[in-house]
Structure 1
């Protein structure tokens, strides 16, 4: 599944593409979730090493 949309495929040059806002929201949601998981792991490692 591709999250990149191209409004006018015949007018695309090189690496020109438009990322739809839904994809950006998805990327930000995944990023936030990942950062929370990393934070949890850091806290657990801190507790273990204390």
Structure 2
């Protein structure tokens, strides 16, 4: 996956995290934590791609 695609996925995951947090209201809610982990994974992948180029 290239950097551009990964960056788009990061932005989508970030928006979804905001939506989930707004819906459930607590940062400790399992759905919020799950989405936060997905965003973290994508950010780590993006950083790896960026450092390899």
The gaps in structure 1 that reach 5 residues or longer are 6-17, 45-50
Output the TM-score relative to the length of structure 1.
0.54
Moved over 2 A (4+): none
Q: Which structure exhibits the higher relative contact order, with contacts defined as CA atoms closer than 8 Å and separated by 6 or more residues?
A: 2
| Matched residues, number | 32
Higher helix share: 2
Q: Which has the higher strand share?
A: 1
Q: Whose Rg is larger?
A: 1
